[in-house]
Every structure is written in C-alpha cells, then in structure tokens.
Chain A
C-alpha cells in the first residue's frame, strides 16, 4: 500500500527532550476505518508520537501525510479543525467550569452572539452530546469538581465526539473508566470505524488491545518495532516485541496459599465514610490484603480512610498498638505509606524535581540537626531511584516530564526510602506497561517476604487474585465477601459478590 493511500502516514519522526531521545525515526500508518493499537512500555514514545499528531507539541523532524497531503499544524486547534482529536491520559477538564462548559470549551462560537453565551443552549446541547455517546446520568450544570475522575473522562469523550473527528486518539484512558465507561468508549470507537473514520488506541492492557484493535503498532525506547496484523496476534509475541525479551504470563505470586503472620498491624472497626458503610478489616504482618469491587463500590475510600486522609464519620482505624490513625501525619508516624489512584494529584508533586519528591517524607532520616546536606540528600534520592530503576535524565528532572510508569516508581521510591512498614496502594499499576507492572508485583512480593504489610486496592481482579493473601470484595460501600488465597479462586467467584 502506497503512503498516499493511508489516512495518516508518519515517516521518520524524531523528537528529543534534552539528552533523552523520545522518538528515533518512528513510522506509523493508519488506514481509514480501522482501530490501530499503539503499544509499548512506559517511555517508549507512544504519547510523544500521538501528541505530535494531535498538535500538542512539535516534532524535531520527520513528516506526516494526512489524506495523502503533507500535514503541518501549529497547535491542537488546527489539528481539531483538520479532524484529529486526542483524549489525553491526564485529566483534561476544568474544575471550576460546569460539565456543559467543559464539553464545549474552546469551541463556544456556535453558542456565542456578540460575545454572550447562550447557556441554556449549551446545557441542552451538552445533554444531547452526552446522550449520543450513552451518558445520561451526569448533570450538565454540575461543576466538574463535584464529579468523579471517570465522569471527567466521559466529558472529555463527549468533547471529542462533538468535534466529529476523522481520527480519534485515545491515550491510556480505559484504566480511568469502569466497565460501563469502557463500553461507552468501545461503542464510540466501533461507531467511528463503521463510519470509515479511524482510531489510534493506546492501552497497556494486551487483552483489550487484541480484542479491540485491527492492527497493532509496537514502539520500544523511541524506536518503531513493527506492526502486527490481527491474525498474527499472540500475547507472548506482543510482550516480547514490546520489551525486547521474553516475558512469561506468570508475573504474579507463584505460591497459591495465603501466608502471613498472626500479628495485626492495622485494623478498621466499622468505618463509615461518605462512600463506605460499616466496613471492618484486619491487616496482618506480612500480608497482602486486597480490596476489589466496582469503581463506585467505595473501595477507593479504604486507602484514604486507613491513611487518615478522609473524614471517618463512624468507627475508627487503629494500628497494632490500638492507637487511632486520624490523619496522614499520624499515619506516617506509624510508618504507613499511601499511594492514591490519582497519582499526579494525590501522590506526587509533578511540578517539582524527582529529588524533592523522593526526599520529602524522609528529611528526618536525611537531615542532621535540622540541616540537610545536599550531598546526603542526592545520595539518598539516587539510591532509591536506582533501586527502582527510574528512567530519568537526573534527579533534578521534573516529575511532570516522566512517563506514567516512571512517575509511579518515583512515588514508590519515596515511601521505600521513608522505610514504611505498611503500604496502602490504590491501583498501583494503573496506566503502567507490563514490564513495570511485573517489577511492581515482584517488589510487592519482596516487601511481603520482608514482613511488610500491604493493602492493595485494585479494579483489576486478576491482580488482586494473583497477588493477595485475602481479598475483600466491596459492594455499595459494604463488605460483601472475604476470600482467602487458594487455587480455585476465580474472577467469576468474586464478580458474583461485586454485582
């Protein structure tokens, strides 16, 4: 097939950030009416490539043909006008604006007369656009700050749908969505395909990529590795092309029986929050305790409540000495660490260097008589970032410049350096490739073997089944079942208690 016959054709695309070469001459071909998967490890260049196509940043060199014509744009508005839209991995909604205004932000012209907005029409049209993609339960007048992260992503989908793009780029969005949200996205993608439009789909979920994509293009460390046709798909082949080595399926714990000490290190007694009702649990020394459920089951409140980060209306969380944990500072004194689901907002200072992020909770260890030695601080940060194998230029690089997986490694390095005994991890592998995922699972197993205790909250059932000693299933904010690790624990068994 000639380059002119593709809807979009990227050739020899190069992009560098300082000394880091994000793209080293990448190529990509997208046909009309197809869903093209773009897959690769964190930091492989997927987001860089697609953000160049979407006009968010310029390339250093290389060419793009769109409809066989040279495609040259200055910004994302021009990309939108040409029919290319992108749903970003990060949050792209404005908290202080309503849902409706977020849907049409930047494109308010049709509702504007002499500079005055017709809000009634905006609300009406927003309802229509949301309904068109299958979302009916979001109040368009509500401010985004009052809605969940998932709702924000659905609003972004509606924003893209309204622009009626020729090419939709979906960058690692599904992990932020519940099954219902995912179905909405999949339907939208399928409808675009039927209309002869195309989708570039980025996800780290190989099964999802195999089932949704017509072809898969693979990137590794900024290089284009190749494109697989549907009949060539196999998880092993995809994984080995992605990481450049063979990765076995078995990256979860190898033992099939639960094993932990008798000592209780953390206990929740009938806690009630705005999303939880009377939930109790005990975490033992050396145990990985999993929490699973639907996105709105309240499970994300478990981590926050155990870390003292949200208000508990009733009940309490206590440590092994029966001392109450009612704030993050108390939790930290008890050597409890927490990494939230919304990594960029809850666990990291993205606009600060890696050095500050890793060192911050550990200044008591690093400082001597209130004075912080820069050399000692640098050594401390370098030690932990090296142990976690963070891909970075140096420790002074800003966290915002790192890929999702490396950001997560920085968040983990911070708490490992701090010397936490209890780790509360909410969706620790969200938006992370299989390579980093495998290393996180290995780290969890190592921590468990060293007698550390872990609360693992996850929306991925294979993860909780594969890693946890016990799994607590939540439904409508309540505990609906506890399962002990054993050979025959299956997803179906848990789903029955979730739904």
Chain B
C-alpha cells in the first residue's frame, strides 16, 4: 500500500476506534449519534482552521470566539431585515470588520497579538451584548437556520476545509505566513514584509469567523451574547484540535484533514462521556489526559526505551 495512503488510514483509525469503543461501553452512544457528533465537530474544526492561520504565523489569538459571536449577532440582526442574505452578509461584515480592526491595531500599535486579542475580546463581547439588548440573545427563524443545519453544515465545513488547504499550501500568502512563523528576521532578509504578512493572517481569520458565526447561530437558531470573557472558553477545543493536528503532521502534511481528525476525536470523547452520564469535570479530566497521552506518545515510547537501556 502507498505510504501516504497507509498513513491516512492510520490517522482515521483514531476517531474510528474511539467511536467503536464508546459505542460498546455507552448504551446511549452509537451510529444514531453520528449526525450530532459530526455537527458538533464542525464549529471547533472551523475555528481551529482559523486559529491555525494565526498560530502558524507565530501569534496567539484569544478573540476568535468573541469575533465569531459578534459576527453572528451582526448576521442575526441583519437577517431581520433582508432574510438569509442578511444573515450571511451580516456574519461576513461583522467578522471582517472586527478581524481587520484587530489586524490594524496589531500592525500600528506593535502590541503583542495576545494582548490585542484580549482587548478585542472584552470590547466586542460588550458591544455584542449591547446590540442584542436586555434579553441577552437573538433568535433567527427556522427557515434561516436551516441553511447551515445538518447536513449543510458539513458541506460548508468541507468547503471551508478545501479553502483552508488552498490557503495553507497553495497560496503565496500561506507560504509567507509559515515563513514568518519560522523566522521573522530571515523573512526580512528575503524581502518578505513580516508585519504585512501577519496583518493579512489576522484579517484572513475573519473568513473563518464568518462561517463559525453562521454555523453557530444556525446550530440552535439563536445566539447568546457572552460577557465576562465567556467567549474565551470557546477557543480551548479548537486549540486542542490544532495541537493534535500539528502532532499528527508526521503522518500526512494536510492540516485541514488533521484538524478534522482532531475535532472529530475530541467531540466523540465529549459525547461519549455525556452518554455515559459523566460530569463536566470528569469529561475535562479524561480529555486532558487523552491530549497529554497523544502528544506525549513519542516521548513516552522514548522513555521506555531509555529505561530498558538503563536496565539492560
């Protein structure tokens, strides 16, 4: 068998095995849960695709959740006037506005991206809550939410995955983002404008935020404005997907696929434990251990061989 095909097979084995294990041990979990698992994987995957762009450029961004929520609110509000077109347009304009603002602030103020992102998060969480008013949430119609419900959410995510692949591997800016993340000084020597590249990287996350917003508001038909930094919690699952994806890179060089595998595996674990009736705390513990074991697998193998060596 071709080596890369074999490696892809090995990759897919992880979520498949997790799915089989949970189907066996958890009576409430099985093939019937698949649409839920798939739907729930799509949002973190989409966010992870966006986060990867900034992380590849060597930056850290905590605001992607807040930006997506703000964009969803903008979409929800515009949908009240011009329907589905307003929903899509609102998500796009909201996401691109905040992302471009953040990129511009980063470029002009030269403050670390992490700091800017926290500032943006705090400001736009409040802005979102002011927009939705005292109810704290915004509802869209069932017809509107159906445009990004299952299975359309899968189709949208796969299309965005293809876009991400092209962006990461087939564009000049994608190459420059990777190069800047590798070595900014060297980029300067080779005539690559690192500041401009990072500016574009942040702006590009707006594209992913648009679709996260769309999926998010359509998933439940409403969007709740988060305050007190609650949107920050949204980024941890996508970060796990990126970390897992980066770790699995040794098998195949295709980050969108790797992020998909990561998102899928993590969602299966979450849902499997919910089906088993475990509390949030236990779910988080198991997920944390899973991540550490996967990332540490090479080191653990190495340590065992060192131990054998010492004993031998």
Contact between chains at A106 and B192 (CB < 8 Å)? yes
Which among A76, A77, A97, A326 is the interface contact of B309 at CB below 8 angstroms? A326
Given A106-B191, A316-B309, A326-B310: A96 in contact with B182 (beta carbons within 8 A): yes
Interface core residue of B172, B173, B186 (most chain A CB under 10 Å): B172
A406 CB–B CB distance under 8 Å? no
Q: Are B171 and A117 in contact (CB under 8 A)?
A: yes
In the complex, what distance in Å separates the CA atom of A80 from the CA atom of B191?
Answer: 9
- Say if the beta carbon of B93 comes within 8 Å of chain A: no
Interfacial residues of chain A within 360-390, with CB under 8 A of chain B in the complex: none
Return the CB mask of A88-124 against B: 1 if under 8 Å, else 0.
Answer: 1001101111000100011011001001110100000
B169's nearest neighbour on chain A, judged by CB, is A119
Q: Which one of B172, B183, B305 lies within 8 Å of A94 (CB-CB)?
A: B183
Q: Within 8 Å of chain A (Cβ to Cβ): is B127?
A: no
Bound Cα distance A76, B190 (Å): 6
Q: B302 on the interface (CB 8 Å rule)?
A: yes
Partner of B190, one of A91, A105, A311: A105
Residues of B within 8 A of A91 (CB): 186
B175 touches A115 (CB 8 A): no
Asked if B306 is an interface residue, CB under 8 A from chain A, the answer is yes
Chain A residue at minimal CB-CB distance from B180: A94
Our pick among A80, A105, A327 for the contact of B175 (Cβ within 8 Å) is: A105
Q: In whole angstroms, what is the CA distance A265 to B111 when docked?
A: 52
Cβ B179 vs Cβ A117 within 8 A: no
B172–A311 CB distance below 8 A: no
| Interface residue ranges of B168-220 to A (CB < 8 Å) | 169-175, 178-179, 181-183, 186, 188-192
B190 touches A96 (CB 8 A): no
Q: Which of B178, B192, B302, B310 contacts A324 (CB 8 A)?
A: B310
Question: Across the interface, do A115 and B172 meet the contact criterion of CB distance under 8 Å?
Answer: yes
State the CA gap A115–B170 with chains docked (Å).
Answer: 9
Given contacts A94-B179, A97-B182, contact A116 B306 (CB under 8 A): no
B302 A311 Cβ-Cβ under 8 A: yes
A29 to chain B minimum Cβ distance, whole angstroms, is 25
The contact string, 1 if C-beta is below 8 Å from chain A, for chain B 1-23, is: 00000000000000000000000
Q: A76-B189, A76-B190, A311-B302 are in contact. Are A105 and B170 (CB under 8 A)?
A: no
Interface presence of A22 (CB below 8 A): no
Is B173 in contact with A115, judged by CB distance below 8 angstroms? yes
Complex Cα distance A75/B188, Å?
8
CB pair B189–A94 under 8 Å, yes or no, is no
Q: Which chain B residues lie closer than 8 Å to A309 at the CB level?
A: none
Considering only residues 292-315 of chain A, those with a C-beta below 8 Å from chain B are: 311-312
**Per-residue CB proximity of B285-312 to A under 8 Å, as 1/0?**
0000000000000000010011001100
In the complex, which range does the number of interface residues on chain B fall in?
A: 20 to 34
Q: How many angstroms between the C-alpha atoms of A143 and B179 in the bound complex?
A: 12
Taking a contact as CB atoms under 8 Å apart, the answer to whether A77 and B182 are in contact is: no
The DSSP consensus for interface residues of chain B is helix
CB distance from A153 to the nearest CB of B (A): 14
- A56 at interface (Cβ–Cβ under 8 A)? yes
B190 / chain A contacts, CB cutoff of 8 Å: 76-77, 92, 105-106
B141-175 with Cβ < 8 A to chain A: 166, 169-175
Contact digits for A53-77, partner B, Cβ 8 Å, 1 yes 0 no:
0001000000000000000000111
**What residue in chain B is nearest A315 (Cβ atoms)?**
B309
A95-B182, A117-B175, A326-B310 known; A311+B166 contact, CB < 8 A = no
The residue of chain B having its C-beta at the shortest distance from the C-beta of A104 within the complex is B175
| Nearest CB in chain B: distance from A86 CB, A | 8
With both chains docked as a complex, state the minimum distance between the C-beta of A272 and any C-beta of chain B, in angstroms.
Answer: 11
* CA–CA, A119 and B173, complex, Å: 14
CB distance from A101 to the nearest CB of B (A): 6
Give the complex CA separation of A119 and B302 in angstroms: 36
Other-chain contact of B172, A92, A95, A108, A312 (Cβ < 8 Å): A108
In the complex, which residues of chain A have a beta carbon less than 8 angstroms from the beta carbon of B173? Answer: 115
Q: Across the interface, name the chain B residue whose C-beta is closest to A77.
A: B191
A105 to B186, alpha carbons, bound, how many Å? 11
A412 to B173 Cα, complex, angstroms:
42
Contact B183 A88 (CB under 8 A): no
Inter-chain CA distance A108–B178, complex, in Å, is 14
Cα A106 to Cα B178 in complex, Å, equals 12
Residues of B within 8 A of A95 (CB): 182
Given contacts A312-B309, A326-B306, A326-B309, contact A108 B175 (CB under 8 A): yes
A338–B124 alpha-carbon span in the complex (Å): 52
Contacts of B310 in A (CB 8 A): 324, 326
Q: Are B191 and A76 in contact (CB under 8 A)?
A: yes
Bound Cα distance A282, B25 (Å): 57
Shortest distance between the CB of A248 and any CB in chain B (Å) = 39
* Closest Cβ neighbor of A90 among chain B residues: B186
A105 CA to B177 CA in the complex, in Å? 11
Which residue of the partner chain, among A77, A94, A326, contacts B178 with CB atoms under 8 Å? A94
Q: A92-B186, A94-B178, A97-B178 are in contact. Are A116 and B191 (CB under 8 A)?
A: no
Q: Is the CB of B172 within 8 A of A112?
A: yes
Residues of chain A lying within 8 A (CB to CB) of residue B306: 311, 326-327
- Which residue of chain B lies nearest to A400 when distances are taken between CB atoms in the complex? B185
A115 contact set on B, CB distance < 8 A: 171-173
Known A-B contacts A80-B191, A311-B302; the reply to A105 vs B179 at CB < 8 A is yes
State whether B186 touches A116 (Cβ < 8 A): no
Is A96's CB under 8 angstroms from B189's CB? no
Minimum CB–CB distance from B133 to chain A (whole Å) comes to 41
CB–CB A105/B192 < 8 A: yes
B179–A97 touching, CB < 8 Å: yes
Taking the nearest CB of chain A, how far is it from the CB of B213, in angstroms? 24
Given A77-B191, A96-B178, A106-B190, answer yes or no on A119-B170 (Cβ-Cβ < 8 Å).
yes
CB–CB B309/A101 < 8 A: no
Q: Please give me the residue from chain A that is nearest to B174 by CB atom.
A: A117
Distance from A125 Cβ to chain B, minimum over Cβ atoms (Å): 15
Chain B residue, CB-CB nearest to A308 = B306
Contacts of A97 in B (CB 8 A): 175, 178-179, 182
How far, in angstroms, from A312 to B190 measured CA to CA in the complex? 38
Give the docked Cα–Cα distance between A261 and B88 (Å): 81
Say yes or no: A311-B182 contact (C-beta < 8 A), given A105-B190, A106-B192: no
What 8 A-B pairs have minimum CB-CB distances, sorted nearest first? A77-B191, A106-B190, A94-B182, A94-B179, A106-B191, A108-B172, A96-B178, A117-B170
Task: Taking A94-B179, A108-B175 as given, write out 16 further A-B residue pairs in contact, using a Cβ cutoff of 8 Å, ordered by the A residue number.
Answer: A75-B188, A91-B186, A92-B189, A95-B182, A97-B178, A97-B179, A97-B182, A105-B175, A105-B179, A106-B191, A106-B192, A108-B172, A115-B172, A143-B253, A311-B306, A324-B310
Which residues of A are interface residues toward B (Cβ below 8 A)?
56, 75-77, 80, 88, 91-92, 94-97, 101, 105-106, 108-109, 112, 115-117, 119, 143, 311-312, 316, 324, 326-327
